[in-house]
Chain A
Amino acid sequence: EDKVVQSPLSLVVHEGDTVTLNCSYEVTNFRSLLWYKQEKKAPTFLFMLTSSGIEKKSGRLSSILDKKELFSILNITATQTGDSAVYLCAVDHYYQGAQKLVFGQGTRLTINP
């Protein structure tokens, strides 16, 4: 059975701290791994990772994929209260002729001032 597992499920830190969110997966026909940020409504796209060992960066956020160990991490440095959200990891795979995403449970990140 295809599955994506995120850890921790919940994390509370102080503003300025650095956090690391984890995502491990077991899926057939892996195509890519995606990270989304969800702040009460629709998830917004952060990163798409397809190759191992290549870090993607966007400001204070960065992410990397390890296709051998089947996991990805999302790092956020110098956290701000606006980073508070649920972070979703999803794996894109090809199943029965269609692109499908398998989502993890999400990590709820709370940044306290």
Chain B
Amino acid sequence: DGGITQSPKYLFRKEGQNVTLSCEQNLNHDAMYWYRQDPGQGLRLIYYSQIVNDFQKGDIAEGYSVSREKKESFPLTVTSAQKNPTAFYLCASSTVLLADTQYFGPGTRLTVL
């Protein structure tokens, strides 16, 4: 089955620890994205990548880092510099064709204690 997987589904960490969220896709999509969603709010773009070994900051990149060493994988690290990391994190992918849609993974809910 083609799709996007994220792991883990729920993640708990102590304040001050870095944590890495996994995102894998087998849709052969070139572009991948990370969003953050807070209660009662829409999605805000953290980082995105259009090709392997290249990525750009989104609207709220501070305190986060990413890598894109493989086309299928786009892990997100939430660092200790992120002031308020507790949120729901969504990964998405798309082709880079005009007027295409993004497909979303199931999300990871991160809680920092």
Contacts and interface: CB of A to CB of B under 8 A. Distances in A.
Interface of A: 4, 6, 9, 31-32, 34, 41-45, 48, 50, 88, 90, 92, 96-101, 103-106, 108
Interface in B12-63: 31, 33, 35, 40-45, 48, 50, 56, 58
A98 B98 CA distance: 10
A92 B102 CA distance: 10
Interface of B: 31, 33, 35, 40-45, 48, 50, 56, 58, 90, 94, 96, 98-107
A88 B50 contact: no
Contacts of B44: 103
A41 B107 contact: yes
A48 B101 contact: yes
Nearest to A96: B56
A50 B99 contact: yes
A45 B101 contact: yes
